[in-house]
Structure 1
Amino acid sequence: MSATWREVPPPPVPPIPPLGWLRVLWRGAALGTVTFGCLGILLLVRLVERPLFGLDRPWTPYITQFVCRSAFVILRLPHRTRGRPMLERGAAVANHASWLDIFALNAPKRIYFVSKAEVARWPAIGWLARATGTLFINRDRREAAAQKRLFEERLKAGHRLMFFPEGTSTDGRRVLPFKSTLFAAFFEHGLKETMHIQPVTLVYRAPEGADPRFYGWWGDMNFGTHLLQVLAAPRQGSVEVIYHPPLRVADFPDRKALALACEQAVRAGLDEALAREAGAVAEADSARG
């Protein structure tokens, strides 16, 4: 089991009012219908796609992207992007704040996630992850060599992978040190000269009046409870995906230097966004005063 970030206690969970439960019902029904209805379509398409194309998936990622974009429409949660998703071969890395990260990162760009192995066994989420081509890894040094080969195989197949080097989710208000283990694969078997890594910053802004960590999901927080809170929200906040310039792997001497450069880019993006947010709040308070 991976370590879980617990340094800050989660906010108390407020009771859901009657109108909130109505929003839970209709939003939950709509989200479930779109998600699992499209999952059924995806699995049918994959029956044809897999024998014809193997690891390559020319059609099904579009279905995944449709589901993720639809989720933000159903939740009425504004989703914005800044910067440009890279066109070069390689992977992207991002800070990890919530189960919503999967939707936020898949909506603007067709990618394949790298996830800890236990996610494959989770009800609902695990099924979706397997169907959409997620690469599962055990954080066990005894399996490191085999996992690195699998990682390389997906990169050579042209998959744009996405992983969370922090190794756990946080409250969305900070970036933890990046673990460099998975970066090692980019320095093997000639990949270094052709691969790029794009740092990506996820910024969640809470609904007005809510705890700033509203969308964060970490520690021992219950997924079902957190999902209900998001579904019940009368007004949502927003999520922003910031794409930083891609980094050429060959420009770095080793995995640790590359991981550090990615971490610094992601942290700078979050710090800048939070500073702008604090400035806007201070300006609004001053205007009211």
Structure 2
Amino acid sequence: MTTWNGEDAPTALRISLFGWLRVVVRGLVLGGLVFGGLLVLLLVRLIERPFCRMDRPVTPFITQFVCRNAFRVLGIGFRTHGALMTERGAVVANHTSWLDIFALNARKRIYFVSKAEVAKWPGIGWLARATGTVFIERNAKEARRQTALFQDRLMLGHKLLFFPEGTSTDGLRVLPFKTTLFAAFFHPELRDEISIQPVSAVFLPPKGEGPRYYGWWGEMAFAPHLLKTLASARQGEVVLRYHRPLRVADFEDRKALAAACETQVRAGHEAIWCGYQANEEAQ
């Protein structure tokens, strides 16, 4: 995955003896939860697929259960604000790290939109395919086929989720939204039928740690970030703020829609951090 590069490099990974013990214990429990859940999901899907085809009335609940309990295993707090969208449509959010996938699945039954290369990644690719991720090619020739796929999934009531920033960050900022994927929502078959719900996601650090604790940026690799998260003696909290859904038909084009989504996500992101800082100063 391509990550945002800032001026400051991430701090070097250091894990104590007790930290490694937490890595082993939490890692085994989390691995059992994730891959045990995957096995159950695949078995249920064997029954679900012949009768429901692309629709998935049962398996998303398994994904949601696994993701919510992953935070319990890690010891990370989980808090949300705002109502879930009931209309057909998609969800967009800012992107801090791989933990966003667990956080956004934990509250809402969604299907991620991801670049096609992810499908080939060992482990992560298997999980992504099993949970119904929509894989897209960065190729103009595929635009029509991908729009048709979006249309089929959205009209089934699937909530598709993507990260318009196009990369993860240190968690302290929201990058400008790329407008490419918003274009598909203006197809004549979709424009009047769907809405987009912006979501602000913030990972607050453990007590005494810097605000970028959960961020994934620069030259960070997945394994060290995972190890640091598993080893942490004290954990922080993830806060999700669900904003008012925006009807695609109310916007002139993809740029206007992307800008409106970015404005809501950025405002929510700043509000959560401001609340955190005020609370820290009060203590």
Bin of the TM-score, shorter chain as denominator length? over 0.9
2:10 and 2:196 map into 1 onto residues whose CA distance is: 34
1:24 corresponds to 2:23: yes
Deviation at 1:3, TM superposition (A): 5.4
Q: How many residues align?
A: 283
2:277 and 2:130 map into 1 onto residues whose CA distance is: 40
2:223 and 2:261 map into 1 onto residues whose CA distance is: 32
Q: Secondary structure at the match of 2:191?
A: helix
| Unaligned stretches of 5+ residues in structure 1 | 285-289
Q: Secondary structure at the match of 1:193?
A: coil
Deviation at 1:238, TM superposition (A): 0.4
TM-score by length of 1: 0.94
Q: Secondary structure at the match of 2:96?
A: coil
1:54 corresponds to 2:53: yes
TM-score by length of 2: 0.96
Deviation at 1:197, TM superposition (A): 0.5
Match of 1:113 in 2: 112
2:218 and 2:117 map into 1 onto residues whose CA distance is: 16
When structure 1 is superposed on structure 2, of 140-149 and 70-79 the one drifting more is 140-149
When structure 1 is superposed on structure 2, of 55-64 and 177-186 the one drifting more is 177-186
Match of 1:200 in 2: 199
User: Residue 83 of structure 1 aligns to which amino acid in structure 2?
Assistant: G
2:180 and 2:207 map into 1 onto residues whose CA distance is: 39
1:124 and 1:256 map into 2 onto residues whose CA distance is: 35
Match of 1:93 in 2: 92
In the TM superposition, structure 1's runs of 4+ consecutive aligned residues that sit over 4 Å from their partners are: none
Match of 1:64 in 2: 63
| Unaligned stretches of 5+ residues in structure 2 | none
Deviation at 1:143, TM superposition (A): 2.4
Q: Deviations over 1:65-98 (max 9, x none)?
A: 1100110110111000000111111011000111
Identical positions, percent: 60
1:220 and 1:120 map into 2 onto residues whose CA distance is: 22
Match of 1:137 in 2: 136
Q: Secondary structure at the match of 1:91?
A: strand
2:81 and 2:119 map into 1 onto residues whose CA distance is: 31
User: Residue 78 of structure 1 aligns to which amino acid in structure 2?
Assistant: G
Match of 2:231 in 1: 232
- Is the 8 Å Cα contact of residues 205 and 213 (structure 2) preserved in structure 1? yes
User: What RMSD over aligned residues (CA atoms) do the two structures have, in Å?
Assistant: 1.3
Alignment of 1:263-278 (within 5 A): 263-278=262-277
